[in-house]
Copies of this chain bind each other. A is one copy, B any other.
Amino acid sequence: MAKVFEKKELKKKSENLSDWYTDVVLKAELADYGPAKGTMVIRPYGYAIWERLQHILDTMFKEYGVVNAYFPLFIPYSFLEKEKEHMKGFSPELAIVTHGGGEKLKEPLVVRPTSETIMYHMYAKWIQSYRDLPVLINQWNNVVRWEMRTYLFLRTTEFLWQEGHTAHETEVDAIRMQEAALAWYQKAYEEYYAVPVIAGIKSNKEKFAGAKTTYTVEALMPDGKALQGATSHNLGQNFSKVFDIKFQNRKSQEDFAWQTSWGFSTRSLGGLFLVHGDDQGLILPPNIAPMQVIVMPIRKSDLSNELLDEYVQNIKEALLNGGVRVKVDAREEPSVGRRFNEWEVKGIPVRFEIGHKEAEDNTVTLVRRDTGEKTVVKRSDMLVTVEKVLKTIQDDLFEKAKTFRDKHTHEVSTYDEFKKIMETSRGFIKAFWCENAHCETAIKEETKASTRCLPLEDIDKNLDGVCVKCGAKAIHKWLFAQAY
């Protein structure tokens, strides 16, 4: 805690987003840099947010029938080579173990960048009949994809995630699973992170290495860049054919399993922090905040504080019983003002100020982190009011982010407009594209904008347009942006 106050003021979000971001992640004690290049430490406050998210997603997974398991960290190098697209996608990012137990290994081991290959090697052993399907397995673990320059949460060599891996009798079942995962991710972003996302399908170039199709949720950050929120892949039979996941189907014929994989990572937390903060620090949406209310007793050193302390204790218990996540900050130092500032940096949605006056009047002074608005609330109305305020903050944060996103989503019809927007305010661009990788590559080279997705709501629209780049026939408006 001490360090927040040793350093000068927080950098301003309004001046430089990325400087502010790094500063606030460090000062709010969400994370810190690890000693090895590209690594980070998730500190307890940051990890508590991740634990909440884990609980939220894990509950949805289990209701659907997904079960958790754990597969090894180390994958024989040869496994990755089996699916060629997969290998091509991951080989530049691999960390390789060459020595173990004091000896050089005969075959080097890859530290998992993702677990398709090792899991499907096991699935081939476990699946024989349609009766063994579906297999719906998820794991919460760490993966490694080499990075030289750390950007806390958003770009790190190691990150935490969940990876769901399923096997089904039919492609229809697999697609239903792929869509269910996408819906969970959209819900996590919109209802918990209060970050609006656009759900869509990736282009062939941007899809997961080895997938048939990739679904994604895409969010817009305050600097006009897109963050790929989470992805869900229909793997078709690509992996089941190379890993030999065969089963006897209902007609007693041999068939290869239809598969999906889907993942949501700690990178998402970077998006959460970027979207909602302000010059005073983080602002956490109440539905994901580990602490929703920070209660600050304002003691007087020249008075007896006994009644005040009792009043505060009573309020804490009432909030806990009402299901509100609350913490009392009864520290004697630093000063009250500094402690206000500290909880603001940490983005606690609501602050209660409770002094002798409040204790005598049976009130609390409630302060909203997002607007700074102060209200004096009667003790008898407290629980109802705080629940309403938390809901309002959640909704307001979402609406604010959505308004920003919509304002920075541009429909363009000429490439000049496209380039001009990407040179200035950036944001999302919706534009006709001929779906030829050649144009996609050229657009990216010239504007740094990649295809983010074809929004799901637009897939069935067969429009009559021309590609913003080459002028050829185009039937879909794709979403473009520069990306993190």
Query: What residues of chain B lie closer than 8 Å to A147, measured between beta carbons?
Result: 101
Mark out the residues of chain A between 160 and 178 whose CB falls within 8 Å of any chain B CB in the assembled complex: 160
A131 interfacial contact with B, CB 8 Å:
yes
Chain A residues touching B, range: 35 or more
Contact A70 B97 (CB under 8 A): no
Q: Could you list 18 A-B pairs, sorted by A, with CB under 8 Å?
A: A2-B132, A32-B122, A32-B126, A34-B118, A36-B75, A36-B76, A41-B71, A42-B69, A42-B71, A48-B68, A72-B158, A73-B142, A74-B95, A97-B98, A97-B111, A100-B146, A111-B111, A141-B142
Q: Looking across the interface, which residue of chain B has its beta carbon closest to that of A45?
A: B67
Smallest CB–CB gap between A426 and chain B, Å? 28
Known A-B contacts: A2-B129, A93-B101. Give 4 more (CB < 8 A). Answer: A34-B122, A70-B160, A95-B100, A95-B101
Residue of B nearest to A92 (CB): B102
A323 to B62, CA, bound (A): 17
Instruction: Check B96–A97 contact: CB distance below 8 A.
Output: yes
A214 nearest CB across to chain B (Å)? 23
Once the chains bind, are A47 and B72 in contact (CB under 8 Å)? no
Contact residues, A70-115 vs B (CB, 8 A): 70-76, 79, 91-102, 108-109, 111
**Given known A32-B125, A73-B158, A158-B74, contact A98–B101 (CB-CB < 8 A):** no
How far is the CB of A441 from the nearest CB of chain B, in Å? 23
Query: In chain B, what residue has the closest Cβ to A74?
Result: B36
> How far is B123's CA from A43's CA once the two chains are assembled, in angstroms?
11
> How near does chain B come to A67, taking the closest CB pair, in angstroms?
4
Q: Which of B1, B36, B69 contacts A72 (CB 8 A)?
A: B36
A122 to B43, CA, bound (A): 10
Q: Which chain B residues border A96 with CB–CB below 8 Å? A: 97-100
Chain B residue numbers with a CB within 8 Å of A307 are: none
A333 to B130, CA, bound (A): 13
A109: which B residues are within 8 A, CB to CB?
36, 95
Q: Does chain B have a CB within 8 A of A3?
A: yes
What B residues does A75 contact at CB under 8 A? 35-36
Chain B residues with CB below 8 A from A68, complex form: 44, 47-48, 51
Contact flags A116-152 to B (C-beta < 8 A → 1, else 0):
0010011001101101100001000110101110000
Shortest distance between the CB of A231 and any CB in chain B (Å): 22
Checking B67, B101, B132, B158 against A44 with a beta-carbon cut-off of 8 angstroms, the contacting residue is B67
Q: How far is the CB of A163 from chain B (nearest CB, A)?
A: 14
User: A240 at the A/B interface (Cβ < 8 Å)?
Assistant: no
User: Shortest CB–CB separation between residue A153 and chain B, in angstroms?
Assistant: 12
In whole angstroms, what is the CA distance A102 to B69 when docked? 30
| Chain A residues numbered 300-319 whose CB sits less than 8 Å from any CB in chain B | none
A39 touches B72 (CB 8 A): yes
Q: Does A157 contact B (CB under 8 A)?
A: yes
Q: Is the CB of A41 within 8 A of B122?
A: yes
3 tightest A-B CB contacts, nearest first: A101-B146, A44-B67, A39-B72
